């Protein structure tokens, strides 16, 4: 976490319960944490295109919701890091819970008939979200939120490992790439928290172009944004395989992964 003393800017005093290691208002007067803010673009723009493509492909609404939920997380995180206001912090953290619940629903419903609805699982996840929201608004303890989010991520990891181990082993590449990128982001998130003072001192001694590479919370956004996006692709790939489609992962401009598929032709 950041030291208590930091410069002020356009948004005034910090009211959030968290203030990350990036130096406040160091790049611009209008953004408290510039790099932690702009790094959210990876969670905002690609999922919007993913949602549009899902509509065009006629995918079930839950996958459109998954893409849009990731966009909402990115937008909330943008607002939080730009302002360091408590209300914006909630706009970041609570959608992390809600989006993960959508991911869980998608992963546990990938082997059901098309357009089916599991009302029991839906009720459970909505209830979980409401309980977490209610408690978090009362206790305002970031560790509580982090533990609840971690539980959801752990559930997704176990489900993914089950699928690539027992159901579709040929999806290990996509599944483990998503997981590995996410875990690397989590590692850098911890480095940013634990070694903040050392990182800040290091940045003072090196050129800005080098210093920016040590903004590890921004890297957390980039890596977890990419990891979450790949997880949605993994979920869609699993689902469309079960529905007897022909999914394929393609790379736009040789860089960005997207999923394309076509129904099996009837003879």
Binding site listing for Ca(2+): 19-20, 22, 24, 33
Alpha carbons 72 and 51: distance in angstroms, whole number: 12
In the annotated binding site, the residues are 19-20, 22, 24, 33, 81, 217, 221
Alpha carbons 89 and 59: distance in angstroms, whole number: 32
Using alpha carbons, select from 32, 30, 31 the residue that is nearest to residue 18. Answer: 32
Q: Please spell the DSSP secondary structure of 213-243, one letter per residue.
A: GG-HHHHHHHHHHHHHHHHHHHHHHHHHHHT
CB under 8 Å to 101, separation ≥6 — which residues? 125, 126, 128, 129, 152
CB under 8 Å to 107, separation ≥6 — which residues? 156, 159, 160, 163, 235, 238
Strands 256-260 and 248-252: antiparallel
In the annotated binding site for Zn(2+), the residues are 81, 217, 221
Q: Are 246 and 236 in contact (CB under 8 A)?
A: no
Tokens at 212, concatenated? 């920016």
Query: Mapping DSSP to helix (H, G, I), strand (E, B) and coil, where does residue 93 land?
Result: helix
C-alpha neighbours within 13 Å on the C-beta side of residue 110: 26
Torsion region of 115: left, alpha or beta (phi above 0 gives left; psi -120 to 50 gives alpha): left
Query: Mapping DSSP to helix (H, G, I), strand (E, B) and coil, where does residue 143 land?
Result: helix
């Amino acid at each position: 976490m950041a030291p208590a003393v930091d410069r002020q800017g356009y948004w005034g005093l910090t009211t959030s319960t968290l203030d990350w290691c990036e130096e406040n208002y160091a790049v611009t007067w209008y953004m408290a944490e510039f790099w932690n803010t702009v790094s959210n673009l990876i969670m905002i723009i690609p999922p919007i295109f993913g949602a549009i493509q899902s509509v065009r492909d006629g995918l079930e609404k839950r996958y459109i919701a998954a893409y849009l939920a990731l966009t909402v997380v990115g937008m909330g995180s943008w607002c939080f890091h730009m302002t360091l206001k408590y209300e914006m912090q909630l706009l970041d953290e609570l959608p992390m819970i809600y989006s993960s619940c959508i991911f869980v629903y998608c992963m546990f419903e990938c082997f059901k008939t098309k357009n089916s609805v599991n009302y029991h699982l839906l009720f459970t996840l909505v209830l979980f979200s409401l309980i977490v929201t209610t408690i978090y608004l009362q206790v305002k303890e970031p560790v509580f939120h982090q533990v609840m989010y971690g539980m959801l991520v752990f559930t997704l990891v176990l489900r993914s490992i089950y699928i690539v181990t027992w159901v579709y082993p040929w999806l290990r590449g996509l599944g483990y790439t998503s997981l590995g990128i996410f875990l690397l982001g989590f590692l850098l998130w911890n480095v940013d928290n634990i070694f903040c003072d050392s990182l800040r001192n290091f940045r003072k001694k090196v050129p800005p172009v080098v210093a920016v590479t040590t903004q590890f919370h921004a890297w957390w956004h980039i890596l977890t944004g990419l990891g979450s996006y790949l997880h949605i692709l993994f979920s869609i790939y699993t689902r469309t395989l079960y529905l007897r489609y022909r999914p394929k992962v393609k790379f736009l401009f040789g860089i960005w992964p997207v999923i394309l598929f076509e129904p099996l032709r009837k003879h």
